[in-house]
């Protein structure tokens, strides 16, 4: 069974640009969450999507957005990049349908460097 | 602000010893609790989940949960150098249908041969 796939794995952008990251969840999983990981702040929740609907959102500015498609694939977008957006962006999928329990399975992440 | 707290370490133990990792959380309504292991340069990998008070054992790993004390721990018996990693405690502190894991900042474990 294939795991969570994230693309691209590495990317370098400059301040002011925008970036789109993609995530394909485990087959059959309908929930996709996004996290930002930095050495100082650790893993911080960005948002969660289920059946193309954003169910929950973390405390990030509106420059961070996401969406989910009918095949459960998800994208997140960061506009007007800032140096502080340099981080590892992790996507995670969850099975068990529309419940409040269950394990998250992470992809390998997209490492974004903003210059 | 709902929080998950862990000692950052590093925690250093000799090979074959028991490593004890601790985590406290702030929200009493929390329902599900997880331990993830993250090797340097890799993504987090789930190693244990626990939903009710008490102990849950899986091989060399034991998770312990005490909801009254808002405390969850992970014991690693017969520690091996391959266990050297950062261990992340994660708690689902949302009620209802929302799902959001809040992570601690992790404890770096080093197992010395």
Contact A109 B34 (CB under 8 A): no
Q: Are B11 and B19 in contact (CB under 8 A)?
A: yes
Local confidence band at A97 (pLDDT 50, 70, 90 cut-offs):
low
pLDDT in tens, A19-73: 999 999 999 888 999 999 998 889 999 999 998 999 889 999 999 999 999 999 9
A115 touches chain B (CB under 8 A): no
| Residues on chain B touching A30 (C-beta within 8 angstroms) | none
A43 at interface of B, judged by CB pairs closer than 8 A: yes
In angstroms, the CA B73 to CA B24 distance is: 8
Q: Helix, strand or coil for residue A86?
A: coil
Res. A2 pLDDT band, cuts 50 70 90: confident
For residues B59 and B108, what is the distance between their CA atoms, to the nearest angstrom? 21
pLDDT at residue B95, as a whole number: 58
Predicted confidence at residue B92, as pLDDT, reads 85
Q: What is the pLDDT of residue A95?
A: 77
Decide if B85 contacts B39 (C-beta within 8 A): yes
Collect all residues with Cβ–Cβ distance below 8 Å to A99 and sequence separation of at least 6.
B97, B99
Q: What is the mean pLDDT of residues B65-94?
A: 94
Query: Greater confidence, B99 or B74?
Result: B74
Contact status of A12 with chain B (Cβ, < 8 Å): no
Q: What is the mean pLDDT of chain B?
A: 91
Q: How far is B44 from chain A (nearest CA, A)?
A: 6
d(CA A1, CA A17): 36
Lowest mean pLDDT among A41-45, A81-85, B19-23, B108-112: A41-45
The residue assigned the tokens 């370098």 is A12
**For residue range B23-37, what is the model confidence (pLDDT) as tens digits?**
999 987 887 899 999
A66 touches chain B (CB under 8 A): no
Dist. CA B80–CA B36, nearest whole Å: 17
* Distance (Å) from the alpha carbon of B37 to chain A's nearest alpha carbon: 11
CB contact under 8 A, B97 and A43: no
CB within 8 Å of B64: residues ≥ 6 apart: B50, B54, B55, B56, B72, B73, B74, B75
- In this complex, is the C-beta atom of A101 within 8 Å of any C-beta atom belonging to chain B? yes
Place B98 in a pLDDT band, splitting at 50, 70 and 90: low
């Amino acid at each position: 069974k294939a795991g969570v796939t994230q693309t691209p794995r590495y990317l370098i952008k400059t301040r002011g640009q925008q970036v789109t990251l993609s995530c394909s969840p485990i087959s059959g999983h309908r929930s996709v969450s996004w996290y930002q990981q930095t050495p100082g702040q650790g893993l911080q929740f960005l948002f969660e999507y289920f059946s193309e609907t954003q169910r929950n959102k973390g405390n990030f500015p509106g420059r961070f957005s996401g969406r989910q498609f009918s095949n459960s694939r998800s994208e997140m977008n960061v506009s007007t990049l800032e140096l502080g957006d340099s981080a590892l962006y992790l996507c995670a999928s969850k099975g068990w349908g529309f419940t409040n329990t269950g394990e998250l399975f992470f992809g390998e992440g997209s490492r974004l460097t903003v210059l | 602000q709902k929080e998950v707290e862990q000692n950052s370490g590093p925690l250093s133990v000799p090979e074959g010893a028991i490593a004890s990792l601790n985590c406290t959380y702030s929200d009493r309504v929390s329902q599900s609790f997880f331990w993830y292991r993250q090797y340097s340069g890799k993504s987090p990998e789930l190693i244990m989940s626990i939903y009710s008070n008490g102990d849950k054992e899986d091989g060399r790993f034991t998770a312990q949960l005490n909801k009254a004390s808002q405390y969850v721990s992970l014991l690693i018996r017969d520690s091996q150098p391959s266990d050297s990693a950062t261990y992340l405690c994660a708690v689902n502190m949302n009620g209802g249908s929302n799902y959001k894991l809040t992570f601690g900042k992790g404890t770096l474990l080093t197992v010395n041969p």
